Amino acid sequence: MAKFKVLVTDHISQDGIDILRADSDIQVDIMAGIKNAELKKIIGEYDAIITRSGTTVDAELIENPGKLKIIGRAGVGLDNVDIEAASMKGIIVMNAPTGNTLAACELTMGMMLSVVRKIPTANQITKAGEWDRKRFMGIQLYKKTLAVIGLGRIGGNVAKRCRAFEMKVVAFDPYIKKSRAESLGVELCDTLEEAIAQADVITFHTPLTDETKNLITSKEIAKMKDGVVIINCARGGIVNELDLVEACKSGKVAAAGLDVFVTEPPVNHPFFDVDNIYVTPHIGANTHEGQYGVAVIIAEQVKNALHGRSYRNAVNIPFMKSQLPEEMQKYFELMESMGHLAAQVVKGRPESIEFTMVGPKFEEDFGERTFDTPFNFQPFSIAGLKGFMEVAVKENVSFINAPYVAKERSIDVLETKTHSYGKFNDLVVIKVKTDKEEKTLGGTVFNDGIGRILTYDNYYLDLIGEGTFLYFKNMDRPGMIGKLGTILGNNSINIADFELSRVDDGTAVGFVRVDNKIPADVVKEILALDGMIEAKTVTL
């Protein structure tokens, strides 16, 4: 029997399906067009689903996700997938952002030329038997200014092509580096207004987000040049539809070309009655090459992710451990293990967890975020949080959902960076506050590449966090360790390692690494020793 089941819920190119079917570990079922009510009943039987824009993957659909681990979108836009809901359930969401870039770019070019030369109307009229050349006086693109809003993959390619038309290209994109614009020969504007005010043609290539919804309304249109041309082949609603209709009717906007609508398919839409608005039915990605591209890419990615080989284009993994430098991967593992330990030794209900990264190694930002997330943590904090929540919550906690799991439980998560911490220059620290106490653990990675826990509250240690330990805290009196060792020996528990530390208040803590599990009654016996304050088994 196949190890993994994949459900394809939309029409995707056969080439992608063939890739999945060629893997004997994968069973592929195809139910293109399946309704959500039906899909909800069976979704939990699948390890992955692959969709295009036809399936709305919302919180309700994945309420009981069962085995579902991956949602693959054969395309770039993810507005039909509730990424936050998927993240909360620990489901990886991945898309195929590059497969149809050129298809969408070329439609934009086609749209721009069609609109400025009124090609669709000319075609219609000529075929209807009219020969009216005067009516088709167009606008030339040469030497005109194009504003590209969103200079990402598609926007960048449109910019390149328009430069070949010898247009001046300006752009507004607050999230890209100046050097990217420079390399494309594009002038980057500091504000949206600056870009749109000078443009003869404006084209939109941003995702649809809270920020870009209604990015252009009557207010912005008023700041544009009279007779401007507007193209939107990105997402419906970036340009307010009714405001655009008004502007096209008044002539403020000479013409508009739109491949996308707020509601698709549009029914009796006000665009339909306006001659200088040209529309297409969301066909940006519809080229043979584009469809082949997204299907093959998503199939390969889902296949690799199912086998745990790679998670390319996963949009809700805020980092890839494998992409961290080797030394930083050790810190990542150390943090996870410290989170584990903190959760096992702290008493009470957690109220807050603070992660501190100490030293120059942590100055760099290691968390590359490719999607809107309410969390902005470094991978090390997420590793620590996962380690902690896994023990504290005992449910399906992953690097994806750990911050959500903490949030759901009203645990405040804080992250700080600092130059030094006590006598340490390189350290990662976890401080947990509960309704009963506060516990702080610190650790580092030495040159031997091994992560060690060095501080436990005020105690100094040298603990390599791997294995099963007897953790204890006792009054620092002669004979305590002997008694403890005798109990372990009497119960045939072999001691592999011993780490002891004491402080001025007359207490000591110890971590005894043992070769075999310590039965609960043995721990009880140790705890009953006179002068013993705490004793329990911890696993790291």
Determine the residue type at 499.
E
- Write down the H helix ranges in 151-259: 153-164, 178-183, 192-197, 218-222, 241-250
235 counts as catalytic: yes
264 counts as catalytic: yes
**CA atoms of 531 and 425, how far apart (whole Å):** 36
CB of 238 to ligand NAD, least distance (A): 8
117 counts as catalytic: no
> Closest CB to ligand NAD among 100 and 301?
100
**CA atoms of 361 and 328, how far apart (whole Å):** 8
CB of 280 to ligand NAD, least distance (A): 9
**CA atoms of 141 and 168, how far apart (whole Å):** 10
Give the active site residue among 130, 193, 211, 264: 264
Give the active site residue among 235, 354, 415, 513: 235
CB of 303 to ligand NAD, least distance (A): 23
**CA atoms of 387 and 336, how far apart (whole Å):** 5
**CA atoms of 381 and 521, how far apart (whole Å):** 36
Determine the residue type at 27.
Q
> Closest CB to ligand NAD among 72 and 350?
72
The 3-state DSSP composition of the chain as helix, strand, coil percent (nearest 5) reads 35, 25, 40
CB of 232 to ligand NAD, least distance (A): 9
Question: Cα angle at 428 between 427 and 432, to 5 degrees?
Answer: 135
Asked if residues 111 and 255 have their Cβ atoms less than 8 Å apart, the reply is no
For ligand NAD, the binding residues (CB under 6 A) are: 76-77, 97, 100-101, 104, 149-155, 172-176, 205-208, 211-212, 233-235, 259-260, 282, 284-285
> Closest CB to ligand NAD among 233 and 341?
233
Q: Which residue of this chain has its Cβ atom nearest to ligand NAD in the complex?
A: 152
CB of 414 to ligand NAD, least distance (A): 28
> Closest CB to ligand NAD among 173 and 200?
173
Torsion of CA 49, 51, 55, 60, to 10 degrees: 30
CB of 21 to ligand NAD, least distance (A): 26
CB of 52 to ligand NAD, least distance (A): 10
Asked if residues 39 and 55 have their Cβ atoms less than 8 Å apart, the reply is yes
Round the CA-based radius of gyration of the chain to a whole number and report it.
30
Give the active site residue among 282, 340, 415, 525: 282
Q: Is the peptide bond before 265 cis (omega within 30 degrees of 0)?
A: yes
> Closest CB to ligand NAD among 200 and 259?
259
Asked if residues 170 and 203 have their Cβ atoms less than 8 Å apart, the reply is no
SS3 readout for 274-292: CCCEEECCCCCCCCHHHHH
> Closest CB to ligand NAD among 87 and 100?
100
Q: Of 197, 189, 195, 245, nearest to 217 (Cα)?
A: 245
**CA atoms of 540 and 396, how far apart (whole Å):** 18
> Closest CB to ligand NAD among 86 and 535?
86
Residues serving a catalytic function are: 235, 264, 282
